[in-house]
Amino acid sequence: MVCEIVTIGDELLIGQVLNTNQAFIAEKLNSIGIDVGRMTTVGDSSASILQAFEEGMQRADIVIVTGGLGPTHDDITKKAAARFFDSELAPNPELRTRIEEIMQTRNIAWTQAAEEQTMFPKNASIVKNPIGTAAGMLFSQGEKPFIILPGVPYEMEAMMEQSVIPLLAPLVHGSVIRHHTLRSSGIPESILAQKIGPLEEILDGAALAFLPSAAGVRMRITVHAGDEPSASQKIQQVEKRLLEKVGRYVYGTGNDELEQVVGRLLADRHLTISVAESCTGGALADRITNVSGSSAYFERGVVVYSNRSKTQILGVPDELIQLHGAVSKEVAQAMASGIRSVAGTDIGVSTTGIAGPTGGSPEKPVGLVWIGYSDRSATLAIKFNFGQFRLNTKNRATQATLELVRRKLLQID
């Protein structure tokens, strides 16, 4: 079963925004065994949109379109679709109720634009938008599903997950493609590959891709099989062999984030944590609190950007900072034990470093980061160098701190 993805928007054709929607949709479709045959991007022009619709319908079994469903003049996808499917736009009471609700909740007055959002093609079904006012559309002419979603990524993503995938999954039968991803942290791609060794025996017909990023290296296993059970079995086999080789670096699978994994470990053990950040500037607390329910184990965080705040909130002695500098093993340790003590938590962690691009010196170059850890049995700090780029250093230091906590909790050396 083959799908084509059509993304609409002048902002894409001028290179102003990255087309993340295409990749998101493709990945979701793949996960249920639907291949993407082609991706097409056209601008906000009726002729281009209609041509792309026509071609997609000719070539593919399913067409998914995003973009141009908003309330302003350049949003012409709805009209183009109505024309393409010989339909009329009519006021839709269900949509009106939904839009009124949203505008009431957000305390926004009713406008002509809202009125137009209530118009909907007569022969389409609504694909519910759990977040915004622009509804998605499903046309089912000739048994080929033709689905139109808004281009705003978080709205589109919610609709793909909650409505489109459940709708399409039952249509797929025959052979299946399954992907399974192992997520590692704290080890470079080349060393990971070396530790895994020759692939033929491990993979036995499956495929493996290494996907490096600032968060770590993902390993993606791909299996083609006759049915779901044999695909699952094959993936389990390959996963088991990989974990035997490099399991200690693997913190999760699929879309697991390290903060979720660490959060579960803390919650299961009834442990609490607090963080004292300098160079990560709040990114660590932000990651931890992205997890729903984190208030059960996250007591507090402090972003101690000034030396005064390190002393005042954490009790780091001013002399220690004068003697070793704010970016030092001693201060990282004092920050970790300080936050642990003042917050009264089981674990305290800290970051202090030179995020750059300025402020480096020969002994303390840009990218140098000390990460501190303290629990009731020990306080320690580890040195890293994360390179030249400020945001990359913040990300990598945050990830390394979470990974340090994971390894401590699991007693991995």
CB neighbour class for 61 (10 Å; exposed up to 12, middle 13-18, buried from 19): middle
Instruction: State in angstroms the smallest separation of the CB of 41 from its own copies.
Output: 4
Nearest to its own copies of 3, 81 (CB atom): 3
| 37/5 Cα distance (integer angstroms) | 8
- Name, in order, each residue with C-beta under 8 angstroms of 141's C-beta and a sequence gap of 6 or more: 85, 123
Nearest to its own copies of 39, 126 (CB atom): 39
Instruction: State in angstroms the smallest separation of the CB of 144 from its own copies.
Output: 19
| 242/265 Cα distance (integer angstroms) | 23
Instruction: State in angstroms the smallest separation of the CB of 386 from its own copies.
Output: 8
Question: Residue holding tokens 């839009």?
Answer: 99
Instruction: State in angstroms the smallest separation of the CB of 143 from its own copies.
Output: 24
Instruction: State in angstroms the smallest separation of the CB of 30 from its own copies.
Output: 5
Nearest to its own copies of 79, 123 (CB atom): 79
- Residue 369, classed as helix, strand or coil, is strand
Nearest to its own copies of 298, 373 (CB atom): 298
Nearest to its own copies of 71, 145 (CB atom): 71
Instruction: State in angstroms the smallest separation of the CB of 176 from its own copies.
Output: 13
Among 387, 360, 386, CA closest to 371? 386
Q: What is the dihedral of CA 163, 235, 208, 216, to 10 degrees?
A: 70
Do residues 234 and 223 lie in contact, with contact meaning Cβ atoms separated by under 8 Å? Answer: yes
- Estimate the share of the chain in helix, then strand, then coil, as percent rounded to the nearest 5: 45, 25, 30
Nearest to its own copies of 39, 141 (CB atom): 39
